[in-house]
Amino acid sequence: MSSMFGASVQRVEDDRLLRGHGAYLDDLGGDALAVAFARSPHAHARITDIDVSAALDVPGLVAIYTYEDLPPKLAEPLPLLIPHPSLTHGRTPYPLARTEVNHVGEPVAMVVATDRYLAEDAADLIDISYEPLPPVVGLGNARQADHLVHEDVPGNVAANAVQKHGDTAAEIAAAPHVLEIDLEIERSASTPLEGRGVLASWDPHAKRLRLWTSTQTSTGVRAAVAAKLGLDLADVDVITPDVGGGFGVKIVHPWPEEVLVPWAARLLGQPVKFTEDRREHFIASAHERAQQHHVTVGFDDEGRILGLDVRFWHDNGAYVPYGLIVPIVTSTQLLGPYKARAYRVEFDSLYTNTVLVTPYRGAGRPHGCFVMERTIDAIAAALHLDRTVVRERNFIQPDEMPYDQGLIFQDGRPLIYDSGDYPALLAKLKELVGWDEFAAAKDAAAAQGRRLGIGLACYVEGTGVGPYEGGHVVVETSGKVKVATGLTSQGQGHQTVLAQLVADELGVRLEDVEVVTGDTRRFGYAVGTFASRTAVMSGSAVTLAARKAKEKAIRVAADALEVSPADLVIADGIVQVKGDPDSGIALGTVAVLSNPLRYAFDEAAKAATQFAGGDISRPPVAPDDEPGIEGRAYFSPVRSTFAAGMHAAIVETDPDTAEVKILRYCVVHDCGRLINPQIVEGQIHGGVAQGVGGALYERMAYDESGQLQNASFMDFLMPYVSEVPQRIEIDHLETPSPLNPLGIKGAGEAGVIPGAAVLAAAIEDAEQILIRSMPISPSDLFELRRAHGQEEALS
Amino acid sequence: MKPPPVGYSRPASVAEALTTLAALGPEAKILAGGQSLVPLMSMRLAAPAHLVDINRLADLSYVRHDAGQVRVGALARHAQVLASPSATVQPLLAKALRHVAHPAIRNRGTTVGSIVHAYPAAEMPAVLALLGGSVRLVSASGERLVSASDFFLGVLESAAEPGELATEVAFPVLPPRAGTGFAEISRRRGDYAICGVAAMVRLAADGTVDDARAAYLSVGPCPQVLDLTEKLAGVAPGAVSLSAAVQLVRERVDPEPDIHATADYRRHLAGVLTERALLESLGEAAGEPKGEAA
Amino acid sequence: MTKPEELHEVAMTVNGATRTARVPARRLLSDCLRHDLGLTGTHVGCEHGVCGACTILLDGAPVRSCLLLAVSADGAKITTVEGLAEPDGSLSAVQQAFTECHGLQCGFCTPGFLTTITAGLRAVPEPTDDQIREMVGGNLCRCTGYQNIVASVRRAAQIQRDRAGRP
C-alpha cells in the first residue's frame, strides 16, 4: 500500500458537491421562519424614532424586534474577541442599534416572517427616523478628527502600538543613504460566493439549542452564543454545514445575526433562519481596508538595511470586534525574509463610519509585503543595483535559523522563524521566470513600441498559529474509521487531506476514513480555521490521535494473536505480523475485541462476549484503559511555523489605453512537506487570483457621506477567468518544519500575499513611474502618466 | 434581495398585450428578457405595479432582413440575433453583440429590450443610433415609427410611452462600399463599457471616404453620434490620417467621471477607440479581409 | 392585514420530470427551484445576474435563474445540476473531469459552471482554450483562480471523446 502523504488523491468531498447534493446553510431549514433586517441607510446618525405600525399589515409577519426588546445579555455590546493592551479604546456594536448607527448597513430592527420576501416587505415598511451626524470617512478625515465616530474615543484612535528592536533613530542617522517613502494600499474584502447564514432550532423539552452557521469557528460561535443566551456549553450544538468560501470574513463571531436568530428561535418556539443577500454582505459583514504608511529607511552602499522605521495608519471601520490582528500582522510580518539591524513600527488604528475591518486572506501581510518590497525596490533604484541582488544581501540565511526578529507575533508569542531557505527560493524564482534574460526581452519589445516590465516580491508567513487543535479517531466495528476535528472547512479539502494523514498513520484505505469538521457534537474543543493553520494544527492532532488508536489496536491484536506488539503492523486495514498478511485480524474485528461485551448484537460481536475466551485472571478493562479503539490528541505548538514564497510577474502595459496585461505569473513556494500537492496548488491558484483582483480590480468605493457606491458584483470587480493570468507557473521548495510531527507548514494564504507588491513592481518597471498606491486601474495609470508628463498619454 | 409584490399578466397575443397595457397605463412594465428589469426589481430600485410578460408572443421572435433593413422582433434574444444569418448583412450587429454581457445573459436578454431600456453604457442603443435605425411602437390606439435620433431621451429614458409595446427594431443594412467597426474598453470582460465606439465609413465610387460617423457609449446620458466626415472626406483609406478626427471627438464628447474612470480617461479612450473603430471600418470598406494590416 | 398575493400555477419539466408549484408572480425561479421544488443544488450568489452560480439550462441554453421569474418559466424544460449525471447514476463527463482536475474547492459556484459547460460542450465539443475562456467567462469563482476549471473543460472534452469512442 503506497503512502497517502504527498499524493494528489481526488477529493472525497467532490462527488456529492458535483451532483448538487451539497448542504450549505440556505439549503437547510426548509420549515424555518425567515429573517430580514431594517438596516441603517446613514453612515452616522442618531436614531430618534422607530415606528413599525405600517409593517404590521404584511401577511406572514411573525415578529419585529428592536433594541428595546433585547434581554440584558443581548442588550450589551457584542464581545471584543481579541483584547490587546494597546487597544485602549475598543468599541463593538450592539446586536441591534441602540441609539446610534455607525455605518450604512448596521442592523436596527429584525423582522421574522414566514418567508424572506415577506420579511423584506415588512422591513421596508418600518419607519425609522434618524438625525444624521457628520460621517467620518477615509483615513485623512479620521486622523484630522474634525468629527468623531465615537464620542468617547478621542482622535478616532482605537489603539496605538509600537514594536521595535534595535535603535532605529541612531541607525538611520548614521546611515550613508536614507529614503522616505509614502505607500498606500486599499484592499477589498473576502467576498466568498456564499454569504453568511444562520439557522437555529430550540428544543423546548431538552432545553437545548442547535445552531447551524456558515462560520469558520463553530466552537467560537458556541461559546459566544451560550454566553449571550445564558446556556451551558453542553446545551448548545453548533454545526458548520458546507460553506461556500470564507477567506477570513466568516471567522468573525458572533455576528449580530448569530445571537439574534437563536434568541428568536427560543422565544418563538420555531426554527428561524437568516440567509444574508449580496448587498447585506457588502454593507453588513466585513472588509479589509485602507492603510497608509510612511517609511524611513537607512541603508548602506550595498543596499543592506540598517534602520527601518514604519509609521502607519489603519482604518478599522466603525467597530473592532476582532481587535488589532490586521495591523499587528502588518507590523510583524512586514520584515518578511529580511533582517534589519534596527526596526521600529508604530501604528494607529482609527475608526471611520464604514463597515468593520477584519482579516481577509493574508490578514495584513499583503500590506506589509507591499511596504517592504516597494522599499527594497526603491533602495535598488537609488543604488542602481539589481533588485534581486539587494534582496539577497538582506536575506536571513538558512544557517541563521531559528531567527528571532525581536517582535511579538499575532499569537502573542515571539516572532521566531524556525526554518526556511530564502536564497534557494530566490534562485528558483529567477530560473523560473528567466530574470536574467528579461532585460533583452524588454529591449526587443521596446523596439516594437511595446512596454514590458518585470517585478518580484517575497514574503514570509507565520502559519499554524495556536493555541491548539484536537483530533479524535475511532475505529468502528465495521472497520470504518471516523475522524473528527473541531475546526471548520470552506473548500480547502480538509476531509480529504486529514483522511490521507489518518489513512497513512493507521494503515487503512483512504475510502474507509471519514472526516467530520466543525461540529461541536463530534469535537468540542477547537479554535477555528484561519491563518493557514489546519494542516499543521488539525493535521498534527489527527495524526497523533491516529497513532494512539494504532497503538491500542496493535496491543489488543497482539493479545488476541499472542504475539508481541513489536511484531505487528497495520496495512490495508488488517493488523498483521510484518510480512504475513494471512496471519492478521481485520481492524474492525479488533474494535469488536476491544470492547468486552455481555450481549452479542451480531455475529462478529460474539467473539467479544464473556464466554468467548480471554484471560480471566485480569479485569476485562484494565484500570488505565478504555473500551474501543479510539485516540484523542491535541497539538499545541510553542509558536507558529514559517512558510515563505516569492512571486514574479511580467506585465505589458498598453501605451494608448493604459490597460495592464499579465504575460507571466510565477510562484515559488515553501510550505514544508506537501500532503496533497494538487490541493496546495489549488490554494495557490485561488490566492493568486485574489492577489490580482486586489491589485488591479477590487476596491471598496466609499463616497464622502459614507455610502458604499459599489455594493454589488456589478461594480465591485471580482475577477472572471478573463482577468486572471492564463497560466500560473509554480515551483516548490520544501524546508520541513521542526515544530510539528509532520514537518508541514500552512499554505492557504500564500497565493495572495505578494499580489499588490509584485504587480506594482512590474508596472513600475514597465512605465518607469513610481507606483506607491494600490490598487491601480487603467484610469489610475493614465492619470499617473499625465502627472508625470508623459506626452504619449495626451495624443 | 427579493422583488416587491407585483401583478402579472401573460398575454397570448400582441392584441391581448396591447389591451392589457392600455388598461394598466403607467403602472405596467413589459417583461421580455428581464435581464435588466428583474435585478432592478430584486434590488427594489424598480417597483412596477404590474408586469406584462410577452414571452409567449412567439410571433415576435424573428430576425429577418428585407428592403434594406435587418428587422429584429421584440422577443429575439441577443444570442439569436448574434447567430442569425439575416444579421450578417449588417456586420456591426455581431461585432457589438459579442460585447453584450456574457453568454447566459445573451441567451435570455432581448435586443429590442436593451434598446428600450436605453442605458447609455449598453452597446445596442449606440448601434441603432449610429445606423440611423428605428423602433416600431405599437399600442391599442395605433402604431408609430420612431427614428433612433428621436428615441433616446436620457439615462434609462426612451420615447416609448406607457401603453406602448416596442414590437420591432430595424437596423439599416450595410450599404455597398461601406464598412463598420466596433471597439470597447470595459474593466472586466463583459462589463458595461468605460467607453465604446461604433463606427461606419462609406467610400465614394472613386474609393475615397464619402461618409464617416461614430456613435459613443458611456460618454453621456444618451448614445452620442458624431459626424466625422469633414475630417476624412476625399481621402483614400490607405492614406487617411485619423488624428484630426480623433481630436474632434475629444473636443466634442463630455463624459462624466465615476468610480471606474475619470472623465479625462474616458475622453482619451474615446479618441483611441475612434481610431481603432475607424481603421476597422476603413479596412472593411476597402474590401480587405478582416485581420490584415491596412 | 394586506391581501395575500395572487398565486400562479407553474408547471415545468425539470430534469425530465414534470414539476408544479403555486407561486406569487415575484417568486424568482432560483427560489422556486430551491425552496418550492427542493432542488437546492442551484445556488444563489448575488441575485443580480453577475456571479452565475444560479445558472441552469432553459430549453438547453444556460440562463441565470435569479433573473427569471418562476411564472415566466411555465412550460419550459429545465435542467439543473441534479439532472446532469448519467442515467445509470455515474458522473457525467463534465462532472468527472472536475473531480479529476480539482476544478472545485468550496463547490458553491460549481453547479453554475457545470450546467454552463455541459451546454457549451454540446455546442462546441472541441473548444480551443480561447473558446473555453469565453464559455466560462461569465461565471465567478473565488476559490480556484479558474486554472483548474479551464483544465476541467479540456479534460471533459477528452472524456466525452473517449466515451463516444472517438479518437
Residue C137 lies in a domain: yes
Do C146 and A690 count as a contact with CB atoms less than 8 A apart? Answer: no
CA distance A671 to C115: 35
Looking at the fold, whether B40 and B91 belong to one and the same domain comes out as no
pLDDT band with cut points at 50, 70 and 90 for residue A743: very high
Interface test mutation site (partner A, options C106, C108, C131, C148, max chain A beta carbons within 10 A): C106
Per-residue pLDDT at A601: 81
Chains in contact with C, counting 3 or more C-beta pairs less than 8 Å apart as contact: A, B
Residue A333 contacts C where some CB pair is shorter than 8 Å: no
Residue ending a domain, choose from B115, B142, B172: B172
Residue B293 lies in a domain: no
Distance from CA of A280 to the nearest CA of B (A): 9
Do B104 and C47 count as a contact with CB atoms less than 8 A apart? Answer: no
Mean pLDDT in residue range A757-772: 97
Q: Which residue has the cell 400562479?
A: C8
Q: How many helices (H) and strands (E) would you count in chain C?
A: 5, 5
Per-residue pLDDT at A166: 95
Chains in contact with B, counting 3 or more C-beta pairs less than 8 Å apart as contact: A, C
Per-residue pLDDT at B236: 79
Question: pLDDT tens digits for B137-182?
Answer: 999 999 999 999 999 999 999 999 999 999 999 999 999 999 999 9
Question: Which of A121, A279, A715 lies nearest to residue B259, judging by beta carbons?
Answer: A715
Looking at the fold, whether B80 and B99 belong to one and the same domain comes out as yes
Question: pLDDT tens digits for B225-283?
Answer: 999 999 998 777 777 789 999 999 999 999 999 999 999 999 999 999 999 999 999 99
Per-residue pLDDT at A354: 97
Per-residue pLDDT at B129: 98
Per-residue pLDDT at A793: 39
Question: pLDDT tens digits for A651-689?
Answer: 999 999 999 999 999 999 999 999 999 999 999 999 999
Local structure of residue C42 (DSSP, 8 states): S
pLDDT band with cut points at 50, 70 and 90 for residue A790: low
Residue B1 contacts C where some CB pair is shorter than 8 Å: yes
Cell numbers found for residue A478: 465495521
Q: Which residues pair with A208 in a beta bridge?
A: A203
Count of structural domains, chain B:
3
Per-residue pLDDT at B107: 98
Distance from CA of B190 to the nearest CA of A (A): 9
Containing structural domain, residue B95: 59-172
Looking at the fold, whether C78 and C97 belong to one and the same domain comes out as no
Query: Which range (A44-48, A436-440, A579-583) has the least confidence?
Result: A579-583
Count of structural domains, chain C:
2
| For chain A, percent of residues with pLDDT exceeding 70 | 99
Question: pLDDT tens digits for C78-106?
Answer: 999 999 999 999 999 999 999 999 999 99
pLDDT band with cut points at 50, 70 and 90 for residue A624: confident
Per-residue pLDDT at A792: 46
Residue partners of A611: CB distance under 8 A and separation at least 6: none
- The one-letter code for the residue type at A434 is G
Per-residue pLDDT at A301: 98
Q: Which CATH number covers residue A409?
A: 3.30.365.10
Per-residue pLDDT at A581: 76
Mean pLDDT in residue range A167-185: 97
On the question of pLDDT at B43 being above 50, the answer is yes
Contacts C154 to A, Cβ<8 Å:
none
CA distance A412 to A407: 10
Q: Give the β-pairing of A641-653 and A451-463.
A: antiparallel
Residue ending a domain, choose from A635, A656, A684: A635
Cell numbers found for residue A466: 495556536
Looking at the fold, whether C13 and C37 belong to one and the same domain comes out as yes
Per-residue pLDDT at C1: 59
Query: Residues of C numbered 6-35 whose beta carbons fall under 8 angstroms of chain A's beta carbons: which are they?
Result: 24, 26-27, 34-35
Looking at the fold, whether B22 and B121 belong to one and the same domain comes out as no
Q: Which CATH number covers residue B134?
A: 3.30.465.10
Report the 10 Å Cβ neighbour count for A88: 12
Residue C36 contacts A where some CB pair is shorter than 8 Å: no
Mean of all residue pLDDT scores within chain B: 94
Containing structural domain, residue A61: 31-133
Residue B2 lies in a domain: no
Q: Coil, helix or strand for A333?
A: helix
Looking at the fold, whether A503 and A434 belong to one and the same domain comes out as no
Residue ending a domain, choose from C83, C117, C149: C83
Residue B291 lies in a domain: no
Looking at the fold, whether C50 and C103 belong to one and the same domain comes out as no
Are A354 and A287 in contact, with CB atoms under 8 Å apart?
yes
Query: Which range (A15-19, A81-85, A596-600) has the least confidence?
Result: A596-600
Per-residue pLDDT at A307: 98
Residue partners of C17: CB distance under 8 A and separation at least 6: none
Do B53 and C116 count as a contact with CB atoms less than 8 A apart? Answer: no
CA distance A461 to A671: 9
Q: State phi, psi for A744 to the nearest 5 degrees.
A: -105, 160
Are C29 and C70 in contact, with CB atoms under 8 Å apart?
yes
Mean pLDDT in residue range A456-463: 95
Q: Which CATH number covers residue C143?
A: 1.10.150.120
Looking at the fold, whether C32 and C72 belong to one and the same domain comes out as yes
Question: pLDDT tens digits for A294-336?
Answer: 999 999 999 999 999 999 999 999 999 999 999 999 999 999 9
Q: Residue A359: name the closest of A415, A412, A314 by CA.
A: A314
Looking at the fold, whether A491 and A457 belong to one and the same domain comes out as no
Are A648 and A429 in contact, with CB atoms under 8 Å apart?
yes
On the question of pLDDT at A158 being above 90, the answer is yes
On the question of pLDDT at B292 being above 50, the answer is no
Length of chain B: 294
Residue ending a domain, choose from A635, A670, A701: A635
Per-residue pLDDT at A623: 81
Residue A159 lies in a domain: no
Containing structural domain, residue C47: 8-83
Question: pLDDT tens digits for A355-385?
Answer: 999 999 999 999 999 999 999 999 999 999 9
Looking at the fold, whether B136 and B217 belong to one and the same domain comes out as no
Do B265 and A709 count as a contact with CB atoms less than 8 A apart? Answer: no
Residue ending a domain, choose from C44, C60, C83: C83
Local structure of residue B192 (DSSP, 8 states): P
Residue C2 lies in a domain: no
pLDDT band with cut points at 50, 70 and 90 for residue A746: very high
Beta strand residue intervals within B32-95, DSSP E: 50-53, 63-66, 69-73
Which of left, alpha, beta for A716 (phi over 0: left; psi -120 to 50: alpha)?
A: beta
Residue C62 contacts A where some CB pair is shorter than 8 Å: no
Per-residue pLDDT at A734: 94
Give how far the C-alpha of residue B167 lies from the chain's centroid of Cα atoms, to the nearest Å: 16
Looking at the fold, whether C53 and C23 belong to one and the same domain comes out as yes
On the question of pLDDT at C122 being above 50, the answer is yes
Residue C56 contacts A where some CB pair is shorter than 8 Å: no
Residue B290 lies in a domain: no
Contacts B261 to A, Cβ<8 Å:
777-779
Are A686 and A751 in contact, with CB atoms under 8 Å apart?
yes
Do A121 and B5 count as a contact with CB atoms less than 8 A apart? Answer: yes
Residue ending a domain, choose from A635, A661, A684: A635
The interface pTM score, or ipTM, of the predicted complex is 0.98
pLDDT band with cut points at 50, 70 and 90 for residue A604: confident
Question: pLDDT tens digits for A255-296?
Answer: 999 999 999 999 999 999 999 999 999 999 999 979 999 999
Looking at the fold, whether B64 and B167 belong to one and the same domain comes out as yes
DSSP string, A617-680: TS-SS-TT--SSEEEEEEE--SS-EEEEEEEEEEEEE-TTT--EEEEEEEEEEE-BS-S-HHHH
Task: Say what the pTM is.
Answer: 0.96
Are A603 and A593 in contact, with CB atoms under 8 Å apart?
no
On the question of pLDDT at B289 being above 60, the answer is no
Q: Coil, helix or strand for A722?
A: helix
Residue ending a domain, choose from C62, C83, C104: C83
On the question of pLDDT at A744 being above 90, the answer is yes
Query: Residues of A numbered 267-286 whose beta carbons fall under 8 angstroms of chain C's beta carbons: which are they?
Result: 277-278
Residue A745 lies in a domain: yes
Per-residue pLDDT at B294: 38
Residue A130, class by beta-carbon neighbours within 10 Å (0-12 exposed, 13-18 middle, 19+ buried)? Answer: middle
Q: Which residues pair with A597 in a beta bridge?
A: A609
Looking at the fold, whether A447 and A481 belong to one and the same domain comes out as no
* A486-508 core/surface letters (b: 16 or more CB in 10 A; e: else): bbbbbbbbbbbbbbbbbbbbbbb
With residues binned 3-state (H G I as helix, E B as strand, rest as coil), the percentages for chain C, rounded to 5, are 40, 15, 45
Q: Which residues pair with C12 in a beta bridge?
A: C19
Q: Residue A59: name the closest of A129, A115, A128, A134 by CA.
A: A115
User: Within 13 A of B40's CA, how many CA atoms are on the CB side?
Assistant: 13
Q: State phi, psi for A519 to the nearest 5 degrees.
A: -125, 110
pLDDT band with cut points at 50, 70 and 90 for residue B288: low
Residue A689 contacts C where some CB pair is shorter than 8 Å: yes
Residue C3 lies in a domain: no
Per-residue pLDDT at A621: 83
Question: pLDDT tens digits for B119-138?
Answer: 999 999 999 999 999 999 99
H or E element at residue A709: none
Residue partners of A243: CB distance under 8 A and separation at least 6: A24, A25, A192, A194, A214, A215, A216, A250, A488, A489, A490, A491, C106
Do C50 and A713 count as a contact with CB atoms less than 8 A apart? Answer: yes
Residue B103 contacts C where some CB pair is shorter than 8 Å: yes
Query: Which range (A612-621, B64-73, B114-123, C1-10) has the least confidence?
Result: A612-621
Mean of all residue pLDDT scores within chain A: 95
Residue C88 lies in a domain: no
Per-residue pLDDT at B293: 42
